[in-house]
Structure 1
Amino acid sequence: MHRSRVLILSSVVFLFFIPSTSSTNFTQCIADITGGLYDATPEALSGGRDNHGKVVPLHNATAITYDLCKRACGSGSESFTWTVFSAQFSAWLLPWLALVSQLPFGSQLRTDDVVSVFLTIGSPALAAYSLVLTVLNGQWVSRRLAGIAYPNVRMAWRVLSSLQQAALQIDDADGMLASLVVLPENDDWWEELAHGLDYTQTWSASAVSQITWVIIAYLFTVIDSFADVTNSVNSNGQGVGSAFLWLLPIVVGWLQVSPKSDFTRVCAAVDRANVKAFYASADPRHPVLASDVTEHRAFTLKSHEDHAARRDEEASAPIYNYARFLPWVANVELVVSVLRAAAERATAHEPVDPYVPWRAAAKGKPPVIVDENRRGSLDQVRRYVGAARGSRVGRVDPNFLMRFLIATALALFLQWGTVGGAVVAVWFTPTIGLGCRSGSYILYAAVGTAVWGTMVISSFLSFYATVAGQSALPSKQSPRPLPAALIAGRLSTFLRRAGKLLATLNAIWIVLSCIFQFSSFYDRCYCNSSVLGLGKNAYDVLTFLDSDVTAMKAAWIGSIVLALGTAALFEGKRNASHNVFRFTLNPPPACTGFIYLHVDPPPPAP
């Protein structure tokens, strides 16, 4: 969205949500208190405090109790100043909102892309979880196919890795998948699909400029805030910059991964490849085009209109990889089992057609399997990979749990590390303690975690409902209470919708919270006194001492180190676009981040 439009929209939202209350002039309020205007009031008798909350005479006080603040200054906020608001909003928040445009989209429905934005902002943990899973899955499928000496294994690795963003459905019925793996005529199918999915959506000039803008704006505003600490201390963006810092490694991480999230392009690649698919026939020497036999194919991108719980699998924006995790793993396991069964037969020099002797490759050539050894009738092809066909429905590799735990730990680490930096920055800004600003960040992180948990549980329930439904035998008895699969499916749908609603509200909340901070809405007695944390002992610091400024600077430095360190450890150091642009906001190679270490895994070794 254009910068001016974002600013206008934010201003409208600000004016709409700010209640029309009388503003407070804290400068005049302090003058009235020190001038003795309220000396005769009960609140003033014990209302004097130092900056650590200790009772002092009012004439020596640098802080006052919350009760005296309300009596003298009222409950309203400091008056809104457009120059402060526009400068802070443009410097601290606007660059991050603009960076959202660099997130990968590409879903068939625009609504899915819009929802993906709310899911990302509303739950950084969910965005990081899907990113880490995608990276780990790429490495896992390479290891899973390693050691399988059969044609097209590397093609299968490229295809399966690229289809993590698709609602992939692999059909092994009637020997379709077996024919794809075994028949030499289908080598073109694997090559066509791998080539069709071999495209990158990575470092563009727009992405580089947006990231550069964010980095420079962040650095300049941090330096500016340290240059004059006490100027608009309660409305500066120290916390805002850290609270949104998680977005930088998420965007850079997806640019490195380059997910195949263009729904139209992926569908076209699958359709083009399926035109070349061959199907084993009754004649061992003459397979036929699959299109001459059936409209079904081994690899399809399925629509789940009949299964509402699996709706998110169809949205190709990469954040929805959380929903495709287990179904994708099950599909990989099916392909791996067929390839491994065929490879074991080939290693034993068993041809597909048992009536044809095994033919060895010519001397001097690399170890290959000649085409004559891979041809056979439909029944022979199915028997050749018979061990794989015995795989139960929905089988997943048990190691998926380790990838899930790693992705969970890193996702929560990124969210709470960066948002935690924001909490530190405002927590240790006098009055020290839990207040409106720090509480808003904690609430944001907590709700973001709840969204992540809700969506992940929904995806697990959806997979269980699908597998249980496919495995269940039809019953001829009278209707009984709802089966577990149906209950799980309905609960999954409910949790998915609830999670999206919660993420939308949380995304709106964090933006509004930042606007409230820049507009001085939080600059009121209640918030400045940290009533949320101090309760009856709440007090409002009126005058900053040199020791307060020193401690505040130290806390701000700590918050920046915490947020930047978290983002750097998550992302790491990476060169982009053939060294055209070097992303430098990272630690040295010795502290390289997780994504950099795991992206671009090597192909499976034969």
Structure 2
Amino acid sequence: MCVVPGRPLYRVPNPSIIVLLLFSSLLHSTSASTNFAQCLQDIQQGKFGPNAGVDNYGRPVSNISLATAIPYEMCVTACGGGSEAFTWSDFSNQFSAWLLPWLALLSQLPFGANDKLENFLVVVLTIGSPVLAAYSAALTVLNGRWIVRRFSGSTYPNTYRAIRTLSSLQQAPIQLDFDREVLLPSLIVLPENDYWWKDLLEHLNYTHTWSISAATSIAWVFIAYLFTVIQSLSDVLQGVEVNGQAVGSVWLWLLPVVIAWLQISPKCDSIRVADALRRANNIAYVATHTGIRRRASQPGNHHAISLREDYDPLYNDERCTSPIYNYARIFSWTAVVEEISGYFYEATRRSHLLQPVASEMEWLPSDRNGVMRDENRIGNATEVISYCLPFFPRRYQWGSGVWGRIIVASILALILQWGTTGAAIFVVWETPTRGLGCRSGSYLIYAFLSTLVWALLLLSSVLARYSTFDYESRDPREIEKHHVRANLAGTMSIFTRRVGKTLAAVNATWILATCIFQFSAFFDRCYCDSSALGLGAAKAFNVIQFTPEDLESMRGSWIGGVFLAVGCAAIYVGFINICINPHIPPSIKRE
């Protein structure tokens, strides 16, 4: 479970306050009296002088009656600084067409925490940082390919089950028990433990994958997006200031992320995972020094593989089984896999040399199906340990190939985030008045904060891993310095994680508020329509009447934005489909 006693829950903004602020803005928009069409008509009639209007490029016009735009400062004077009136029909149409399907699609995300608050925080974290959501999904796929390569040199019994089991446990905070060094070798060598691997894999073999409801939700979102894009392109002038073309692009990241998780089918139900491991550990056997095999649970509550249950806040995210927290488990999971795969590799090497576990026995040939005889896998505790222990053990503090997987997953996540959000920024930027305004600036802030949240949480996982490093030295002062650095790294890991989650909550609220403001005409005011944020108050101007050239340029920009967003989403989905379900050699899979 993710909620533990004594854990300081991080706070999210009070929903009632958010709703109140949004409602207040809608009331303000409803009571606003700004009418830009009437204001331009007054300008063209010369009520504010012969120099009060400009053309759509901000240039003075020879005849004021030909003005199609108003300088920002004159706009505030002549039209007022408020927004145009709120129109319920425009708001409801745009909200239901561009935003509501995406909010409904959030229900298809994998949760697994079995706690309503934690599942809600998963939604907040996903919306607040699409980079983190896409990164964790891509990292999970890359880990699945890496584990197959890591076990590629092993053919010892249960290798195939170990690959599938450990891959399924990416969402679990697994750890190894090194206090009793015979536990893990016994799990790999002893023939009685074949049932351990088989039972655990069977109970983890449940799916969170394609279903009728999931396929319907994805189809509904895709069709709704397709229809609204076609409708907006067919009539560019229809509610251009409240149009959701950019909103559709800024939320498009959600579709490939949901598709990726449905294809991965993560085993993230915390209760089912814990129950599967508990059931398997109850039938695990361990070798003794007398050569008798007995249940591992009999001497005490020690198991070769177990779930982390300590309440150290350093491991809060690692304990959460929701797949979005896979970023926090990358180093610990990799270390467990490398330790187990190293034991499998050594046992395979010795079996290829026809060395049985028991030193006083001779190797018995396999049966005609190529299955290793159980007699070759029996021995006392010392023999079992030496049979699996590599002669030159390889120890990786970070994990082999882990940084390469992190870099690839990061690149894919950043492409998805900035491709979809960049398309939204481009669409709004190229809508007159061209330049950086309230809408494009809001999307830019959203993508930036999403990236910052991912960076902070990635840094948090790195610091958490560093705080667990062992340090060997003959100088006690050096060891003491290392402990100080490790404690500092642990404290900084907790701090950066909490800051990142707080920013994710702020960013989720920000993008929802931005969409509401877009649809409610809150941004339809002199400052926002003039792109004063980028052009500056002195050079900014508000384009009110579009020319045929403007319409063609807008249509072309909107089409380009759609292709950019869809293309980046397709790249991400294509990568997931190429890398998922890696090929397992027949020599491993035959069992």
Scaled to the shorter chain, the TM-score interval is over 0.9
Q: CA deviation at 1:339?
A: 0.7
CA contact (8 A) 2:83 2:524 kept: yes
Q: CA deviation at 1:20?
A: 3.6
In the aligned structure 1, how far is the partner of 2:480 from the partner of 2:230? 70
Q: How many correspondences in the alignment?
A: 568
In the aligned structure 1, how far is the partner of 2:474 from the partner of 2:494? 24
1:235-275 alpha-carbon deviations (Å, 9 max, x no partner): 01000000000000000110000000111111111011111
Which amino acid is the alignment partner of residue 597 of structure 1? I
The reply to whether residue 26 of structure 1 matches residue 43 of structure 2 is no
In the aligned structure 2, how far is the partner of 1:481 from the partner of 1:313? 23
Q: Aligned residue for 1:523? A: 524
Which of 266, 276, 282 is the equivalent residue of 2:273?
266
Gaps of 5+ in 2: 1-15
TM-score, with structure 2 as normaliser: 0.92
Deviating more after overlay: 11-20 vs 198-207: 11-20
Cα RMSD (Å) of the superposition?
Answer: 2.3
In the aligned structure 2, how far is the partner of 1:88 from the partner of 1:272? 52
In the aligned structure 2, how far is the partner of 1:472 from the partner of 1:105? 44
In the aligned structure 1, how far is the partner of 2:157 from the partner of 2:186? 13
In the aligned structure 2, how far is the partner of 1:197 from the partner of 1:389? 33
Q: Aligned residue for 2:376? A: 373
SS of the residue 1:276 aligns to: coil
CA contact (8 A) 2:37 2:544 kept: no
CA contact (8 A) 1:425 1:555 kept: yes
Shift in CA distance, 60/107, structure 1 to aligned 2, threshold 3 Å: same
Which of 585, 589, 594 is the equivalent residue of 2:575?
594
1:406-461 alpha-carbon deviations (Å, 9 max, x no partner): 00100000000011111111110000111111111111001100001000000011
Which of 567, 570, 573 is the equivalent residue of 2:569?
567
In the aligned structure 2, how far is the partner of 1:349 from the partner of 1:468? 36
After the TM superposition, which residues 9-408 of structure 1 pair with which residues of structure 2 at under 5 Å, given as runs?
Answer: 14-18=22-26, 20=28, 22-39=32-49, 45=51, 47-57=52-62, 58-172=64-178, 173-284=180-291, 286-306=292-312, 308-362=313-367, 364-366=368-370, 368-387=371-390, 390-392=393-395, 395-408=397-410
CA contact (8 A) 1:338 1:389 kept: no
Shift in CA distance, 293/524, structure 1 to aligned 2, threshold 3 Å: same
CA contact (8 A) 2:355 2:363 kept: yes
SS of the residue 1:261 aligns to: coil
In the aligned structure 2, how far is the partner of 1:599 from the partner of 1:9? 43
In the aligned structure 1, how far is the partner of 2:373 from the partner of 2:86? 79
Which of 438, 463, 466 is the equivalent residue of 1:464?
466
In the aligned structure 1, how far is the partner of 2:305 from the partner of 2:215? 36
Which of 521, 541, 544 is the equivalent residue of 1:542?
544
1:132-185 alpha-carbon deviations (Å, 9 max, x no partner): 000010011011101212100000001100000000112243311000001111
Which amino acid is the alignment partner of residue 123 of structure 1? S
SS of the residue 1:300 aligns to: strand
SS of the residue 2:359 aligns to: coil
Q: CA deviation at 1:386?
A: 2.6
CA contact (8 A) 1:338 1:388 kept: no
TM-score, with structure 1 as normaliser: 0.90
Q: Aligned residue for 2:423? A: 421
Deviating more after overlay: 522-531 vs 214-223: 214-223
Shift in CA distance, 225/443, structure 1 to aligned 2, threshold 3 Å: same
Deviating more after overlay: 146-155 vs 472-481: 472-481
Q: CA deviation at 1:222?
A: 1.1
SS of the residue 2:360 aligns to: coil
In the aligned structure 2, how far is the partner of 1:375 from the partner of 1:343? 15
Q: Aligned residue for 1:510? A: 511
Shift in CA distance, 451/271, structure 1 to aligned 2, threshold 3 Å: same
Shift in CA distance, 598/349, structure 1 to aligned 2, threshold 3 Å: same
Q: CA deviation at 1:13?
A: 5.4
Q: CA deviation at 1:194?
A: 0.9
Shift in CA distance, 18/472, structure 1 to aligned 2, threshold 3 Å: farther
In the aligned structure 1, how far is the partner of 2:552 from the partner of 2:540? 22
Deviating more after overlay: 383-392 vs 157-166: 383-392
In the aligned structure 1, how far is the partner of 2:300 from the partner of 2:347? 24
In the aligned structure 1, how far is the partner of 2:59 from the partner of 2:185? 79
Q: CA deviation at 1:402?
A: 1.1
In the aligned structure 1, how far is the partner of 2:271 from the partner of 2:140? 20
Gaps of 5+ in 1: 1-7, 572-592
Shift in CA distance, 300/474, structure 1 to aligned 2, threshold 3 Å: farther
Shift in CA distance, 445/550, structure 1 to aligned 2, threshold 3 Å: same
Deviating more after overlay: 415-424 vs 202-211: 202-211
Deviating more after overlay: 402-411 vs 377-386: 377-386
